[in-house]
């Protein structure tokens, strides 16, 4: 088993049981205690778990923790780039699409600057800035108003009101987490309401979520897994997640990750 595969298995164990012991993992995977400690160190450096004496537990913050945009941008950069490339292939000239807030949707925005005649609705300040800087006169960018969150989303009644009258070809939704029980979720109650308004504005929802989003649960559910037509993730998505998603959505796309 490769180190990456072993670390994914360890992370899933931590998320399902709340904690793991070095000695137990070493026996299970047939490697030394030192190898497991290096695995735990690598996962801890990515903020995916917390090291404790003799093992590891889930990362400290709970379902309402909302990292800032800059902090989230540094995570899973290769995965986000691959997901954004795949999502951009769905967009053609003249479409009206929405990009929710999130670092993966911001990555997608950078890949849409070359699409002519595009109308983009977003509640993300970074997304709007990326598209605005491209300076295309044939693109229309609609930025909702609303209350700003730590992740630079605009949410609340003003944002919902701006979205409710729209009819969109595609909605690209970035999520904090996804699971069988909670569906797609967010740590911000007002953001969940705003995202649901985006879902109501389209018949085709595309969720952009790298493999670390599986089994992560925010305090507020946006929608069940079945609400998405397409989920775009990466090849590091664990097999149980693949099975759960394939049973619920029309299309699951898994991107190869370079590096």
User: For 70-80, how does the pLDDT look when each residue is reduced to its tens digit (9 = 90+)?
Assistant: 556 556 788 99
Question: Looking at the predicted structure, is the pLDDT value of residue 188 above 90?
Answer: no
- Ordered by where they begin, the domains of the chain are 3-58 (1.10.10.10), 69-255 (3.40.50.1360)
Backbone angles phi, psi at 128, to 5 degrees: -65, -35
pLDDT score of 75: 67
- CA-to-CA dists, residue 192 to 72, 121, 157, 244, 248, angstroms: 18, 17, 12, 22, 20
Residue with tokens 């399902």: 16
User: Please, are residues 175 and 209 in contact by the beta-carbon 8 Å criterion?
Assistant: yes
User: Please, are residues 207 and 237 in contact by the beta-carbon 8 Å criterion?
Assistant: no
User: For 110-142, how does the pLDDT look when each residue is reduced to its tens digit (9 = 90+)?
Assistant: 999 999 999 999 999 999 999 999 988 999 999
């Amino acid at each position: 088993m490769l180190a990456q595969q072993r670390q994914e298995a360890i992370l899933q164990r931590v998320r399902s049981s709340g904690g793991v012991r070095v000695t137990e993992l070493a026996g299970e995977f047939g490697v030394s205690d030192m190898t497991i400690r290096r695995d735990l160190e690598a996962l801890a450096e990515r903020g995916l778990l917390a090291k404790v004496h003799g093992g590891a537990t889930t990362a400290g913050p709970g379902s309402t923790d909302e990292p800032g945009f800059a902090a989230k941008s540094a995570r899973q950069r290769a995965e986000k780039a691959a997901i954004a490339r795949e999502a951009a292939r769905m967009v053609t000239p003249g479409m009206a699409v929405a990009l929710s807030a999130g670092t993966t949707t911001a990555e997608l925005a950078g890949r849409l600057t070359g699409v002519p005649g595009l109308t983009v609705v977003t509640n993300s300040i970074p997304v709007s800035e990326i598209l605005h800087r491209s300076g295309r006169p044939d693109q229309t960018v609609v930025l909702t108003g609303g209350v700003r969150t730590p992740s630079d989303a605009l949410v609340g009644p003003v944002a919902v009101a701006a979205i409710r009258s729209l009819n969109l070809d595609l909605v690209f939704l970035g999520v904090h987490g996804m699971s069988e029980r909670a569906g797609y979720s967010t740590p911000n109650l007002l953001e969940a309401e705003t995202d649901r308004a985006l879902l109501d504005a389209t018949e085709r929802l595309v969720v952009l979520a790298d493999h670390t989003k599986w089994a992560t649960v925010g305090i507020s559910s946006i929608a069940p897994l079945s609400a998405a037509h397409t989920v775009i993730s990466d090849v590091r998505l664990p097999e149980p997640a693949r099975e759960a998603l394939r049973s619920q959505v029309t299309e699951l796309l898994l991107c190869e990750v370079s590096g």
